[in-house]
Amino acid sequence: MTINFEVNGARRIFEGDPFKRLIDVLREDFALTGTKEGCGEGECGACTVLLDGRPVNSCLIPICQADGHRIETVENLGIPERLSALQKAFLEEGGAQCGICTPGMLLAAAAHLKAGGKADDLSIRRALGGNLCRCTGYQHIVKAVQKAAKAPRKPRRKKA
Amino acid sequence: MRGDAFSMRVFRPASPAEAVRLFAQNPDALPLAGGTDLMVGWNSGRLNGRAVLDLSRLEEWRRIEVTDEGARIGALATHSEIESHPVLLKRLPLLAEACATVGAVQIRNRGTLGGNVANASPAGDSFPALAVYEAFVHTVSKEGRRSLPILEVFAGVKRTALRPGELIERIDVPFLPQPPARQFFRKVGSRLAQTISKAVGAGLLWLGRGGVVLGCRIAFGSVAPTVRRLRSVEECLHSGRLTPETIEKACAALSSDISPIDDVRSTRLYRMAVSRNLLRAFLTGRA
Amino acid sequence: MPAVGTNVIRKEGAEKLCGRAKFIDDLSFPDCLHGVTLRSTIPFGRIKKVSFDPSFPWDECTVATARDIPGKNAVQHIETDQPLLVGERVMHPMEPILLVAHPSRQKAYEALRHITVDYEEYDPVLTPEDSVALKAVLRAPDNLFKDVRIDKGDIAAGFAAADIVVEGEYRVPHQEQAYIEPNGMAAWLEPDGTLVAKGSMQCPYYVHKALMLLFNLPAEKVRVIQAVTGGAFGGKEDYPSVIGGHAALLAWKSRRPVKIIYDRPEDMASTSKRHPAVVRHRTGLTRDGRLLAQDIDVLFDGGAYSTMSPVVLSRGAIHASGAYACPNVRIRARAAATNSVPNGAYRGFGVPQTLFAAELHMDRIAEALRMDPAELRRRNLLREGSSTATGQVLRHSVGAADALDACLRRSRYAQKRKACAAWNKRSRNPTWRGTGLSFAYHGAGFTGGGEVFYASKAGLALDADGGVRVLAASTEMGQGEATVFAQIAADALGVPYGWVETETPDTSKVPNSGPTVASRTTMIVGRLVERAARQLKAELEEAAGKVPKSRPAWLKAVRRFLDGRPSREVICQYERPPGQQWDEKTYRGDAYGSFAYAAVVVDLEVDKLTYEVKVTRVTTAFELGRAIHPLFAEGQIIGGLTQGLGYALTENPVYKRGVMVNPHFTDYVIPTSMDAPPMDVVLLEKPYEHGAFGAKGIGELPNDTPAPAVAAALRQATGRWFTELPILPEKICKALHDDKL
């Protein structure tokens, strides 16, 4: 089956088993290994990507259901030389430790902020409720998201 | 991950008519809506070799329509769409609240109300709300359309009264003719997010002059193989006043309405005690 | 500007934040096969026959059994009692029997469904009580992996002088490490015959040693590399040697790279966890609350093989009396074999178990004495000059009282206790509230003579391009090792933090600095890095004068110093600090180089309708010697406390016939962002002269404290003692309802 979808702003075609999971297509076929598998059961949120701007568990989506949709992964948020405000805040506030939950956590947080979600402690914790982290106890993550919420919305764009 | 994509046969109907036709031809196919339950089973390898009927292209079944009488919620409307729908939030707040407690945001963005009902988990978070709103489940198959009261859909743990080849197309939830004097929804899980309910309840109460109970609808989930309307409790309360004695009588009647069990998630004693506490709090106005 | 004591940016942070950090499952290898494991379905018995369905295309697979192991069929942990694959005797459920590799992971799993195993089943021993009663002999002669006896003073005289004696029994369950990245290892053979294993791990040299034994290879023919590791918490201390051995065996047989990645249920059900324990206390005190005698019995369920049990038990036993000075102590601790999945290392390493008992017991004593729990602790707390249960006299960096006082002050403990009592008197309030205190200490570094025995090495290299690389086998797994080592090296060498990198652990490149465990990395290995950096600085200054500040001048100085050599490596080896001694036979002496101390106050409320417990705030004060990176230290503490809260309240591994039957994140309930309370962390510094820049280890201490504080708070909230973890709402409900029956 042919799947046409958008990944990180680029039109992509996947030709293969329609029931291959989105996470596997991203990781195996498009080498986007930033998306992690922590449980394969939709519990841990490490595989979170954005589908049409909303956080979803990519381990629970057969690729056929991504046909015609827009996917964003952690690779789209920024690069080490030019981090987004959210990534920078995570770096400064200790929001990432082992790093395995980090991509999913960043995407859930980015979606929350982009949707105009509130930056109070409880709203952020609610938005991140589907992303398990065993390292941080969440406090530094919540602080990082709050810091990013206060940062100017759009990062300065550098001309290539 | 033990699911084998290669082994799967996938049908992707573009219209409800095509879906019904394909399902009639392949009654063993697994209907796939948001995938939040089916894919968990598939990842474990249990569903290898099966055929899947992917309903996700049926835009017609995703809509939420509001009429004067109630909401017509397409089977594929997601929990996120329901919890944030301005009219549902106002007119069917228990349902909106219930949907807001399902899983976490990632699950709510994919999981659908129709999928939740078809899945028939004893712990379905939306069912007590649907039960007290007396929702109707509309189905379609090659044989035609049916409308079932929500409680008649559930036949047991993970079993429904749906017939082979039958799909849920929408769920109609009538608005209440009179605003209730009291209402409650409460989900009790094992943590505060991303949790499966150990007990979940919803209630509506109408009071007349002098505190006489004009009407009462209460339902609990996770305390029996299927969601339960508390008929004996409601019976106890009807037409009477909410005196401490009637409330205690109603609470005592609870044990004939529900039959909780011990399992890996909780205990019979706990589920019984919590259901009784929530019921008592609701009736005494402290929920 | 010094780096130590500041919150420099995490070395590998940007890579992780951009999804570029490569965890083992992110790496692909040419012609790679996927390995899977056929496991036993019974707790105890003998394999009679293994049958392969002839209709399955076995020619597509590589199948490896115990007979394919070129060396010894034994996984080198502390002992070698665990086979890599079952030969004949099955000792626990989920025990690896054989391995299958296939180019497709799904096909490999499919193959497992075409293998049938016939067993002869024996009656299993499933509890440590049955084990010590020798219901069956699993391990001759007495079923014990270790039997520790600690004797101090005269216990009989202590009880004879006591005004009051308090007894108690405490029970704790398994706890799952719940790292979010499941275990995974890859292995392949280099053209020169070198066997390489790469994966998620804490201890590269453990895996190295295990592979040498399994494949009968010399050290230089085995190479182990750490991939970015997605959390470990002790859970990647022992089993990477098993999984690495499995991947290597399949690679050895197939002559192709093989990757084994566990899925969540397999990881949870088949790998080691925190030991369940039963701890009994009998304590004698004076009327004014002075400890006179502590008699403590500890029994751990070790599971089927020893893995880390002897040392976990040892640490648990030494800490079992709590952070208090008592003249007469008797501790007996045993780890017994059962037919269950082996238990092993989990952050805290035996201490969360024994400390839950010790601390909750202090609260029961306080109540018996009608004394404030904080005051009882203060009267008995370890101070400078106190001696511990092993007779270790504490001479330096004893911040116990400071930590207790700071925590009580910051948390407003006394006021809160009163406020909770007042709140609980009003029956219309929807909740019951409680505030609980606990105190803990945790020895940093290996127990007893471990550091001397291990004689770790670490150091650094100065390269011709001006780069400085820290060389150590200690692994970065989120705790910040790569950053902290670079801070230490930079300051000791006198160069900016940015000029120093920490080498990825690879046994072909870094010396054996020991396993990344035991709260030892910053204090012990960091000290080796510090010493090496100071030595390098001295060498550099001798050759090229003062260490320059500007990069061009630095490069010039490095060139002059290296004088044509590609690089200069300085490696330092552990030396026992003067005066420290330990007798392994009698368990007397300096059990640890130093201890870190922590007090914690937990505020919580219990919903009267649902018995759900909401922890509303945690306040803690940590005396840690020196905070090399205060933000990371705080991150470690908050993360560890959160794991401790899970241990106390929600994490409930259900075991049936020796195996966890809820091996999913759905039913093994760890805290989410909604459950984790706000935490207030106070860091106190009393530098330890033999730790890097004065630092003591704190990795594990935060896991020790929350559970007893939670139980103490629940005592105030509900009026009940909860002596068994986890304290689920079901237990609270039952305790409150039993009264009515």
Q: Which domain holds residue A11?
A: 2-76
The single-letter DSSP state of residue B103 is S
Tell if the CB–CB gap between A19 and B3 is shorter than 8 Å: yes
The reply to whether C18 touches chain B by the CB within 8 Å rule is no
CA distance linking residue C372 with residue C378, whole number of Å? 10
C contact residues 228-287, partner A, Cβ 8 Å cutoff? 228-233, 263-264
CA distance linking residue C479 with residue C488, whole number of Å? 15
Q: What is the pLDDT of residue A110?
A: 98
- Whether residue A45 is found in the same domain as residue A89: no
Q: What is the pLDDT of residue A159?
A: 44
The reply to whether B40 touches chain A by the CB within 8 Å rule is yes
Task: Say how many Å lie between the first and final Cα of chain B, rounded.
Answer: 43
Query: Which chain B residues have a beta carbon less than 8 Å from that of C611?
Result: 270, 273-274
The single-letter DSSP state of residue C693 is G
- Whether residue A36 is found in the same domain as residue A92: no
Q: Best residue in C100, C261, C610, C738 to probe B by mutation, most B CBs within 10 Å?
A: C610
Question: Which of A76, A96, A124 finishes a domain?
Answer: A76
Place of tokens 């601790």: C333
Greatest CA separation found in chain C? 86
Nearest CA in chain B to A25: B5
The mean per-residue pLDDT over the stretch A81-107 comes to: 98
Q: Which residue among A80, A93, A126 places its CB closest to the CB of C674?
A: A126
Q: Best residue in A19, A27, A51 to probe B by mutation, most B CBs within 10 Å?
A: A19
- Whether residue A54 is found in the same domain as residue A11: yes
Count of residues in chain A: 160
Question: Both tokens of residue B104?
Answer: 């976490």
Q: What is the pLDDT of residues B73-123, one digit of tens each?
A: 999 999 999 999 999 999 999 999 999 999 999 999 999 999 999 999 999
The CATH number for A57's domain is 3.10.20.30
The reply to whether B14 touches chain A by the CB within 8 Å rule is no
CA distance linking residue C550 with residue B50, whole number of Å? 67
R_g over Cα of chain B: 19
Q: What is the pLDDT of residue B286?
A: 83
Q: What is the pLDDT of residue A160?
A: 40
DSSP string for residues in C158-200: HHHT-SEEEEEEEEE--B----SSPPEEEEEE-TTS-EEEEES
- The reply to whether A17 falls in a domain is yes
Q: Of B228, B225, B247, nearest to B237 (Cα)?
A: B247
- The reply to whether A50 falls in a domain is yes
Instruction: Give every CB contact of residue C21 below 8 A, 6+ residues apart in sequence.
Output: A99, C12, C15, C228
Q: Which residue among B1, B45, B274 places its CB closest to the CB of C610?
A: B274
CA distance linking residue C739 with residue C716, whole number of Å? 17
- Whether residue A13 is found in the same domain as residue A70: yes
The C-alpha of B36 sits at a distance from chain A's nearest C-alpha, in angstroms, of: 6
- Whether residue A55 is found in the same domain as residue A37: yes
The pLDDT-based confidence of A153 (bands split at 50, 70, 90) is low
CA distance linking residue C143 with residue C165, whole number of Å? 32
Taking the mean position of all CA atoms in its chain, how far away is CA C373? 29
The single-letter DSSP state of residue C516 is S
The H or E element containing residue C297 is strand C291-303
Q: What percent of chain B has a predicted confidence (pLDDT) above 90?
A: 97
Q: What is the pLDDT of residue C740?
A: 53
Place of tokens 């995703």: B62
The single-letter DSSP state of residue B47 is T
Question: Which of A21, A42, A76 finishes a domain?
Answer: A76
Confirm if C63 and C252 have CB atoms less than 8 A apart. no
Identify whether C726 is preceded by a cis peptide bond (ω within 30 of 0): yes
3-state SS, residue B154 = strand
Query: Which chain B residues have a beta carbon less than 8 Å from that of A45?
Result: 104, 106, 194
Quickly list H helices, C413-525.
413-425, 450-454, 481-493
Distances (CA, A) of C702 to A134, A141, C657, C698: 13, 19, 32, 7
C255: left (phi over 0), alpha (psi -120 to 50) or beta: left
Q: Which residue among A42, A127, A132 places its CB closest to the CB of B107?
A: A42
Tell if the CB–CB gap between C13 and A78 is shorter than 8 Å: no
The CATH number for A111's domain is 1.10.150.120
| C-beta neighbour count of A106 within 10 angstroms | 30
Confirm if C334 and C299 have CB atoms less than 8 A apart. yes
Indicate the average pLDDT of chain B: 97
Confirm if B170 and B140 have CB atoms less than 8 A apart. no
Q: Phi, psi at residue B62, to the nearest 5°?
A: -95, -15
Q: Which residue among A34, A41, A83 places its CB closest to the CB of C664?
A: A41
Nearest CA in chain A to C483: A97
Taking the mean position of all CA atoms in its chain, how far away is CA C81? 21
The C-alpha of A32 sits at a distance from chain B's nearest C-alpha, in angstroms, of: 18
Q: How many CB pairs under 8 A join B and C?
A: 80
Q: What is the pLDDT of residue C741?
A: 40
The set of chains that have 3 or more CB pairs under 8 A with C is A, B
Q: Phi, psi at residue B184, to the nearest 5°?
A: -150, 150
Instruction: Give every CB contact of residue C123 below 8 A, 6+ residues apart in sequence.
Output: C44, C135, C136
Taking the mean position of all CA atoms in its chain, how far away is CA C618? 22
Q: How many domains does chain A have?
A: 2
The C-alpha of A4 sits at a distance from chain C's nearest C-alpha, in angstroms, of: 24
Nearest CA in chain A to C668: A43
Q: What is the pLDDT of residues A37-68, one digit of tens each?
A: 999 999 999 999 999 999 999 999 999 999 99
- Whether residue A14 is found in the same domain as residue A66: yes
Tell if the CB–CB gap between A140 and C634 is shorter than 8 Å: yes
Confirm if B197 and B168 have CB atoms less than 8 A apart. no
Q: What is the pLDDT of residue C739?
A: 55
Query: Which chain A residues have a beta carbon less than 8 Å from that of B110?
Result: 56-57, 60-61
Instruction: Give every CB contact of residue C266 below 8 A, 6+ residues apart in sequence.
Output: C37, C182, C663
The single-letter DSSP state of residue B68 is S
- Whether residue A19 is found in the same domain as residue A63: yes
Q: Going from the first residue of chain C to its last (741 residues), give the mean pLDDT of each consecutive group of 10, the final group possibly shorter.
A: 96 98 97 98 98 98 98 97 97 98 96 98 98 97 98 98 98 98 98 98 98 98 98 98 98 98 98 98 98 98 98 98 98 98 98 98 98 98 98 96 98 98 97 98 96 96 97 98 98 97 98 97 98 98 93 96 96 95 96 97 98 98 98 98 98 97 97 98 98 97 98 98 98 85 40
Tell if the CB–CB gap between C665 and A41 is shorter than 8 Å: yes
The reply to whether C12 touches chain A by the CB within 8 Å rule is yes
CA distance linking residue A59 with residue C62, whole number of Å? 28
The C-alpha of C699 sits at a distance from chain A's nearest C-alpha, in angstroms, of: 11
Q: Which residue among B35, B43, B193 places its CB closest to the CB of A65?
A: B35
- Whether residue A9 is found in the same domain as residue A69: yes
Q: Phi, psi at residue C353, to the nearest 5°?
A: -65, -55
B contact residues 141-160, partner A, Cβ 8 Å cutoff? none
Count of residues in chain B: 287
The single-letter DSSP state of residue C221 is G
Q: What is the pLDDT of residue B287?
A: 72
- Whether residue A11 is found in the same domain as residue A31: yes
CA distance linking residue B174 with residue B66, whole number of Å? 10
- Whether residue A65 is found in the same domain as residue A93: no
C284: left (phi over 0), alpha (psi -120 to 50) or beta: beta
| C-beta neighbour count of C603 within 10 angstroms | 24
The reply to whether C480 touches chain A by the CB within 8 Å rule is yes
The H or E element containing residue A142 is helix A139-150
Query: Which chain B residues have a beta carbon less than 8 Å from that of C430?
Result: 286
Question: Which of A55, A76, A97 finishes a domain?
Answer: A76
Tell if the CB–CB gap between B264 and C105 is shorter than 8 Å: no
Identify whether C141 is preceded by a cis peptide bond (ω within 30 of 0): yes
DSSP string for residues in A7-26: ETTEEEEEES-TTSBHHHII
The C-alpha of B106 sits at a distance from chain C's nearest C-alpha, in angstroms, of: 14
Query: Which chain B residues have a beta carbon less than 8 Å from that of C610?
Result: 186, 188, 199, 274, 277-278
- Whether residue A8 is found in the same domain as residue A70: yes
Q: Of B43, C240, C26, C260, nearest to A36 (Cα)?
A: C26
The C-alpha of B105 sits at a distance from chain C's nearest C-alpha, in angstroms, of: 13
Tell if the CB–CB gap between A19 and B12 is shorter than 8 Å: no
Tell if the CB–CB gap between B191 and C669 is shorter than 8 Å: yes
Nearest CA in chain A to C264: A39
Distances (CA, A) of B123 to B99, B225, C438: 13, 9, 37
Tell if the CB–CB gap between A75 and C18 is shorter than 8 Å: yes
Q: Which residue among A42, A126, A132 places its CB closest to the CB of B36?
A: A42
Domains and CATH numbers, chain C: 13-21+450-573 (3.30.365.10), 31-123+183-261 (3.90.1170.50), 277-447+586-737 (3.30.365.10)
Query: Which chain C residues have a beta carbon less than 8 Å from that of B264?
Result: 654, 661-662, 667
Tell if the CB–CB gap between C733 and B274 is shorter than 8 Å: yes
